[in-house]
Structure 1
């Protein structure tokens, strides 16, 4: 045993911000259509501080590599998450996510290693 404790994931249904809940639900379902519907037109993102193309990044990091988020914590406003993120390319890592919501949809998300 490594002695490392693993936080119990928060059920996606318990995420307090509806737009973030829709985003995580779509990621975990690998549902491209619902994912796009969770984003504003022209949504932007960054990964580890570098701007990325949303379509290219999500195809590589989520959809074609079986991405999955197990949320460990959310901020009081529901717009920030700490999650164990895993995919077939990189394995599992602890990540942070920060969301900007506009008109009930995610207009920007920023992710990186925690």
Structure 2
């Protein structure tokens, strides 16, 4: 069962998913804290390069199936033009300013 993006519990995570699905790079970057970091399948990646390749140039899309940890952990079906669709997990660290300082993703 898919959770509607508007119903995601954490406002920063909701903004992140909304920006990904709208292919809105500017809104995506606004939800990230300065110096934000990320990892894919346990390896740290260059955030700007990764989001361009995996989200924005390849039409990434998240369908959230489950959330936990107050909305800061997601199980989702992620699809893009490069890899097709796969089950993924996402975890988010949100700072006191309400922006995401780190996210980690990988196959679920």
TM bracket (short chain): over 0.9
Q: Which has the larger radius of gyration?
A: 1
What is the match of residue 77 of structure 1? 70
Tell me the SS of whatever aligns to 1:65. Answer: coil
TM-score (norm 1): 0.92
Report the Cα offset of residue 9 of structure 1.
1.0
| The one of 88, 108, 112 aligned to 2:106 | 112
Tell me the SS of whatever aligns to 1:20. Answer: helix
Q: Root-mean-square deviation (CA), in Å?
A: 0.6
| The one of 15, 18, 21 aligned to 1:22 | 15
Matched, 1:92 2:92: no
CA–CA separation in structure 2 for the residues paired with 1:64 and 1:48? 20
Report the Cα offset of residue 61 of structure 1.
0.1
* Structure 2: runs of 5 or more not aligned: none
What is the match of residue 62 of structure 1? 55
Q: Which has a greater percent of helix?
A: 2
Runs of 4 or more, structure 1, over 2 Å off, are none
CA–CA separation in structure 1 for the residues paired with 2:46 and 2:34? 13
| The one of 41, 47, 54 aligned to 1:48 | 41
- Count how many residue pairs are aligned between Structure 1 and Structure 2: 107
* Structure 1: runs of 5 or more not aligned: 1-7
